[in-house]
Amino acid sequence: MIINEFELDHIGIAVSSLKEGEAFYKTLGLAEPRHESVSKEKVNVAIFGLGNSCNIELIEASSRDSTIAKFIEKKGQGIHHICLRVTDLKKTLNELKGKGVNLIHEEPFVGAHNCLVAFIHPKSTGGVLIELSQPAANNEVSKQ
């Protein structure tokens, strides 16, 4: 039994340009986004906070060989992934692996916001890329 309480953390949307992508969300009246670069993933992100502790994360490739660039080339701009927040990512990954879930990452790595993250393969989720994220406050990386 998985003991984590899953919460929606963010929806990741692949965009060709952060500037162009941000325009719509600003039109909605959302506050100015936070910006961050994740060099390991070769992306730049703009994070719009929502009132319920969820976010909309716009993701722009910073390199032509990034996963996001390949995604946009193949599928166009749009929803890339859904991120679920967990309290103990390593335990969750072990439990999912034990249940035969196809994981892209069996070990967590540091992603945006210094969170530990890992992805579940869409083959196990009905075609949806799911990111699991453990907040920085709950991981050893942020405490170093």
Residue 111 lies in a domain: yes
DSSP string, 24-87: HHHHTTPPPPEEEEEGGGTEEEEEEE-TTS-EEEEEEESSTTSHHHHHHHHH-SEEEEEEEE-S
Residue 95 lies in a domain: yes
Residue 58 lies in a domain: yes
Residue 1 lies in a domain: no
pTM (2 decimals)? 0.88
CATH number at residue 68: 3.10.180.10
Residue 74 lies in a domain: yes
Q: Is the Cβ–Cβ distance between 34 and 22 less than 8 Å?
A: no
Residue 36 lies in a domain: yes
Question: Domains in the chain: how many in total?
Answer: 1
Q: Is the Cβ–Cβ distance between 129 and 80 less than 8 Å?
A: yes
| Domain ranges, residue 100 | 7-139
Residue 2 lies in a domain: no
Q: Which tens digit of pLDDT belongs to each residue from 93-122? A: 999 999 999 999 999 998 888 899 999 999
Q: Which tens digit of pLDDT belongs to each residue from 83-97? A: 999 999 999 999 999
Distance CA 128, CA 121 (A): 8
